Amino acid sequence: MRTPDRVNLVGASRAELAALLHDLDPRPYRTHQLYAWLTRRLAAGLDDMTDLPRALRAALAERAVVADPEIVDVRRGPDGTVKYALAYPDGPLVEAVAMPMEGHTTLCLSSQAGCAVGCVFCVTGVLGAGRNLTGGEIFGQYRAIMRGEGLVGASVNVVFMGMGEPLLNLPGVTRAVELLAETVSPRRITVSTSGIVPGLARLAALERRPKLAVSLNATTQEQRERLMPIAARWPLDELLAALRAFPLERGRRITFEYVMLAGINDSLDDARRLPRLLRGIPCKVNLIPLNPDERYLGGLSAPDEATISAFAGVLAAAHMNVTVRWSKGRDVAAACGQLRGQILGERAAP
């Protein structure tokens, strides 16, 4: 139960926990135990913390709660993809996805309750802006899914490719990465951006950086502005200059995501321009056929397989590392914003 006079421990720092415990049990190892239950063992509540004395748990319960976002919908697809809709107490609804991959599971988290960037191929962008999520609220998505999928203690990858633009909420994302790093190496965490150039500089300054992915989706400035209005503010040449200056640890590459839209950005001319555009950047390219949505993305569709294969072939011939990421979870509205859009649509329907 959530009450306004009790603090939520999810997302609290060690210093904040120590301050809470100061007049209850100030011994440092108690802070360590409590922090471990929240960040490593992913306890759903104080009663789960069995190595804390019962009296201490009771005293803590008068001051604090352990509250993750409420799971309001879960949809499971035949390919194993699971889409979660999660609600926060003040009303925002966000999405997160668990995707089984070869040898591991990847969790896709949201950083905002909406998105102001407005990419024309993204349901979240069509639905509009929402507030930033705190680091604890983002971490709560992870905790809820890890328990829901029976993954506590398992090795997972985490990607910030859900709702929102992570680099417009760097304080929340940075704090979430710190919490995740208790169990997930930063080398297994990826932050995806539409190209917020000042945010790239701040991300580059972090001592422990997650991996970087960039939603590119176009090979000319004019084309990118049509698909991603944010490109008018941070043009393509400025973005690429920032990426060439971005520090990469040995063996790391920048991932470029390219959502393929039939008749819009899927020509062989686009394919030939892409290697020239990215020359000199250690990278790989993920081609992502659009996951269509008739309600919100009417008129947009994915190219046929022959077109996608030809596009990929041009990149491969130019010695680029290229993969085609066929969308998982089409049966469970797993693309960004789709499940939220369905739920909002159902609520609005007579």
Q: Which residues pair with 267 in a beta bridge?
A: none
Contact present, 84 and 27 (Cβ < 8 Å) = no
Q: Which residue has the higher pLDDT, 103 or 153?
A: 153
* C-alpha–C-alpha distance, residues 263 and 309, integer Å: 15
Mean pLDDT throughout 106-124?
92
Q: What is the pLDDT of residue 334?
A: 44
The number of residues in the chain equals 350
Q: What is the pLDDT of residues 23-32, one digit of tens each?
A: 999 999 999 9
Distances 16 to 5, 20, 160, 305 between C-alpha atoms, Å: 16, 6, 26, 53
Catalytic residues: 95, 336
| R_g (Cα) of the chain, nearest Å | 21
Q: Are 215 and 259 in contact (CB under 8 A)?
A: yes
What is the average pLDDT across 106-131?
89
Digit-coded pLDDT (tens) for 258-313 = 999 999 999 999 999 999 999 999 999 999 999 888 877 878 999 999 999 999 99
Domains in the chain: boundaries: 7-65, 70-348
The pTM of this model reads: 0.89
Q: How far apart are CA 120 and CA 116, in angstroms?
A: 11
Residue scoring higher pLDDT (334 or 152): 152
pLDDT greater than 70 at residue 336: no
Say whether pLDDT at 3 is over 80: no
d(CA 258, CA 228): 12
Question: What's the mean per-residue pLDDT of the chain?
Answer: 91
Residue 148's region, left for phi above 0, alpha for psi from -120 to 50, else beta, is alpha
Residue 23 amino acid letter: D
**pLDDT given at position 123:** 87
CATH class, range 7-65? mainly alpha
Q: Given this structure, which CATH class describes domain 70-348?
A: alpha beta
| Distance separating alpha carbons of residues 350 and 104, to the nearest angstrom | 42
- Residues 211-255: tens digit of each pLDDT: 999 999 999 999 999 999 999 999 999 999 999 999 999 999 999
pLDDT at 102: 85
